[in-house]
Structure 1
């Protein structure tokens, strides 16, 4: 997610944070600075973080020093007696705060991926500091008046990235409230502080709730249906979580739990499903609803202060979608096509189950994955366990993801052992262009652990900027179960696609070729940023790429043709579910953020509000619940997707359009890849996003029908 302390993240985000900076030591050296690895430039290549020397108690003093440094830099701008110009005001601001950004980037990477007690403790002090400093910058009227003067007098004459940088910074300030009256400005600052605190509370509570919701299993017989590898993982997870029982089932971040597809024990399936949906709704040890309604009310008030009807209208004003009418028109179009398909598929699954369970059997949400998996196996004569041996994580990465990037963009990857990481399971790679020139460093952090929040994401320790002479330091994070020592980690197809997805984000950061840090890489609107990642998923199933990585972990033999055709042919099987859970989550998100302050329900009434929303959208279906229900919807309450979850579907349309273009003109040809790289991936936010899309595809507008076709609907 992206928030604005001139690019500094204030809460742990999902994918694609717009993070920047490199160390700059402008203060006299002190004993503290010498001993604090964060308060001086890194000696590693490309200014990479030296995690071998960074300690948990280094972050707070380094953040304080970074704030002091940028405060002095901004004071120098505002004290300048010369007439405000692009160079002495806007460009000077763009070049300020490098140390603070660098330290914050590193810190928030750990907040999401390795939140130890030390990091959590530091966060309680750091978040208020950064929120206060963001307010200090955004509501510094002397500073803003200089920016406004430049905007009023130079915007029309500036060109290229200079013009775009001025536009983005000016709108960033005005969107934050720099034009508000004094009393409203004061209230806006209070709201920002309260929101930062509440979002941190939500973010802290969610992983704890997930750990608390763990389902403990005493007898291995209860795990019938699981593979030996899955049972071994349940045992390993139990040991790492205190060993309350010999086995446990860890609750993932989504509503439905993938393990339900294999568990024969219906009572245990029900227990796991209930643990998932009730993890944070007040029936257990954690209840996020009181926090959520406060966040929603404050956001609604913030929007009204800015002159908008609701928070969704305020947020969407800076996206491709533009307004709530366009989003709802898009959703209704999808729902109309989805609904008959979903009803037919649910009926088919229930009828299939009744063949073995009897005519009185009624399908429940915790049964759906189980019987749809059996139905799929009966129709296509294969199961996930048949294909997992061919999806060795290391092969997917090197022979799939890296191979496709080499074929399409000419990139090469070389593992490095000399770059320290924040966890021993991580790997680091040089990213080299076709001519051997170093483009980036790429960090992989793929395995789940109790200190990591759920989900998968990409971000950066440092972003690309030619103005700063900085190469991007990009990382991907996932939550795969790590195989026992000495054994390969085998993935499902969904997990394989997730790796390709997150690497698409990584490419957006790695191949950035922008002058200014503020505009580079993934610094684009939410409904565009998911496009490169969703498009990159398409390479996972292209036969030449698939055959290159889908090889048996023991024999290295490619997946047999018959099995490959069955698997790829089944990808859209019962596809209504994935579309429906996304539409439901999107509708919940939009509804919460289309309310005025007085319309926000109480914490007690929040579950009923969600049900009414889904019913009004014709999406209330216990068989296809929201991918994330209100109480554990981290994207919108703890991340940066408030009134923005629709962007996954919106940008999927863009991605399908682009994939169609690749398929027509040569999916693995350098000519098409180089064209996409030059026109899209390298551009960041330097041009209008619809123009970027149209320049590559030739389409004047996205073709939404292509998405339904791609999903087999």
Structure 2
């Protein structure tokens, strides 16, 4: 195939540069990557061959202009590989992984490029740069230094080998997990086994079975350990089967087992860290985050673990009391029972039936009158669906985003439903990055994994799924609103332990009265959610937080434990390592399993959160403090929205995030609001 015939190698003619997926075929990707790699290397070579001394324009700005074709191809491909990974796409990704790692190293470890940037870094005070330009010089220099650009040739060669192997292993981990997750979907032949599920949930399970040519019902598995259905299923054996399937993913000793994959990843990451001058991978990662070192992370996790475990134990005792009081043949409450009996306690103590709330959370209304409406009230933006624009999958919908003055801001794509070709969990990614230098506006995607009901049935969300949609849309707003000159700072390109902050803040509007009253309407009658129920929901915000905090902290600690291992440490038994790590921090209650066990911990072993899963709780300190600010300053107002947009979301990565936070808040964040929110201040 000639480059001219490849639709990925020419800018898309569609609005905002949206890739024309209607003409892109799997066979286009690898040739496009090959051509884009060559073009990018040639662009960097032209920078390093300049004979005159480095200037910002001939080095840093030229570097920012380079690689545009590669970025276009990569964004188009990785959007598909995560959301619609057919076997053909998976095979391409496996071939691509080491090639991409090698290319990134060829740029990042280029000695001539590093010399030029180092020269600018030494003279940064003399260059007359504006604030964004100065920060860009500092970031480029620090990132290349931390990546190993200053190493000798022998060390660089080994580093490149490690990066390529690690890239391949991460791809293998994700492929194994997706395959095993699909294989472990739980098949039920009789609807009686799923007693307690709603009509819509049964319809979704029936559709999932039919999609695989099965009779009966199929319950597919989310990424996290639990399952939304566990709160409703009355048949204990059905709950047990679902939980057992979930916890056994990629750890069954078959061809999809990830134990050997993840232990090799850990070993190679430790070797790479040592090569770069760090004692552990965790130290290498946190060196360029707001935490700065793993000791700060450990202090926070340990500070929260003890009260979280204490609260979870009290919750466990309350669940056991319910079982002892209500069951004819009492039993010890296990992990698969927790959600079901938690709902009984919620009903008894707060008179709330979470499953009964679903008719008030119809997906389209939540999106239009909740998620979008809150953004309109706060930021003045509006959303118009573009049915004339298609994407990589028929389920993905496109919306054009406009500012209050009518100017175009970007495109937002929502891909709501689960499918076998989509990886688990929920996420945001960019297809096109905003940049004044390149003249591009943002195109961002939100992916969720909501079960798709049968034809003609409404999509009714759980409160957790409503929360996820608001959360991921917070990332989307960050990607849409960041307005920078240089693509290196666009969108959510911020420190990993800051990136969750805007998304967590956006969750605050879920129970905000004027927002909730708009979207929480019965999908048949249109009646609003009873204000008394709303009050009880607000009163129950700390309910079950012992469990929620413990399962999260357990996963965050597992991530740290793996990545605090030094070079030479060996782990022969993944399960035993997990058990010892969780006992060390006091989060080894079998009834409260870790949110992600190692063999299906995709955030850490195939995503971008290695040694960084702590960032959710780290960012939540800022989030809780920000929610406090909004509440004391009038809440959902345009003035508050403009301040948050201009001083935090709008700067993207062009400013130190904690400096941006101080600019917004007037001081550093305090931890007290977080402790209060999670009921850990007792």
Deviation at 1:148, TM superposition (A): 1.7
- Out of 61, 65, 74, the residue aligned to residue 104 of structure 1 is 74
Distance 2:352 2:647 in 1: 41
For 1:70, the equivalent position in structure 2 comes to 40
Per-residue CA shift, 1:287-308, capped at 9, x if unaligned?
Answer: 1010000000000011111111
- Out of 623, 639, 664, the residue aligned to residue 655 of structure 1 is 623
For 2:156, the equivalent position in structure 1 comes to 185
Per-residue CA shift, 1:178-230, capped at 9, x if unaligned?
Answer: 11122211111110011011111001111111011111112222111222222
Per-residue CA shift, 1:156-175, capped at 9, x if unaligned?
Answer: 54331111111111112111
Pair 1:482 & 2:452 matched = yes
Alignment of 1:195-594 (within 5 A): 195-243=166-214, 245-283=215-253, 286-357=256-327, 361-594=331-564
Distance 1:561 1:83 in 2: 68
Pair 1:697 & 2:668 matched = no
1:278·1:284 contact (CA, 8 Å) conserved in 2? no
Distance 1:325 1:143 in 2: 33
2:200·2:458 contact (CA, 8 Å) conserved in 1? no
Distance 2:346 2:551 in 1: 19
Deviating 4+ runs (over 4 angstroms): none
- Structure 2 unaligned residues grouped into runs of 5+: none
Q: Secondary structure at the match of 1:439?
A: strand
Pair 1:686 & 2:657 matched = no
Pair 1:144 & 2:114 matched = yes
Deviation at 1:285, TM superposition (A): 5.4
Q: Secondary structure at the match of 1:361?
A: coil
Per-residue CA shift, 1:33-72, capped at 9, x if unaligned?
Answer: 3432111111111111111111111111111111111111
- Out of 31, 49, 65, the residue aligned to residue 79 of structure 1 is 49
2:482·2:490 contact (CA, 8 Å) conserved in 1? yes
Distance 1:50 1:469 in 2: 19
Per-residue CA shift, 1:415-449, capped at 9, x if unaligned?
Answer: 11121211111211111111000011111101001
Deviation at 1:32, TM superposition (A): 2.7
- Out of 27, 31, 54, the residue aligned to residue 57 of structure 1 is 27
2:176·2:258 contact (CA, 8 Å) conserved in 1? yes
Q: Secondary structure at the match of 1:474?
A: strand
Q: Secondary structure at the match of 1:525?
A: coil
For 2:140, the equivalent position in structure 1 comes to 169
1:584·1:614 contact (CA, 8 Å) conserved in 2? yes
1:86·1:154 contact (CA, 8 Å) conserved in 2? no
Q: Secondary structure at the match of 1:270?
A: helix
Comparing 500-509 and 161-170, the one that deviates more: 161-170
Number of aligned pairs? 679
Q: Secondary structure at the match of 1:231?
A: helix
Pair 1:673 & 2:641 matched = yes
Distance 1:359 1:482 in 2: 36
2:385·2:399 contact (CA, 8 Å) conserved in 1? yes
1:296·1:600 contact (CA, 8 Å) conserved in 2? no
For 1:9, the equivalent position in structure 2 comes to none
Q: Secondary structure at the match of 1:478?
A: strand
Distance 2:401 2:457 in 1: 27
Q: Secondary structure at the match of 1:441?
A: strand
Q: Secondary structure at the match of 1:427?
A: strand
TM-score relative to the length of structure 2? 0.97
Deviation at 1:545, TM superposition (A): 0.5
Distance 1:44 1:562 in 2: 48
Q: Secondary structure at the match of 2:389?
A: coil
Distance 2:174 2:363 in 1: 29
2:475·2:503 contact (CA, 8 Å) conserved in 1? yes
Q: Secondary structure at the match of 2:448?
A: strand
Distance 1:179 1:442 in 2: 40
Distance 2:503 2:209 in 1: 33
Per-residue CA shift, 1:507-543, capped at 9, x if unaligned?
Answer: 1111111111101221111111100000000011101
Distance 2:52 2:245 in 1: 63
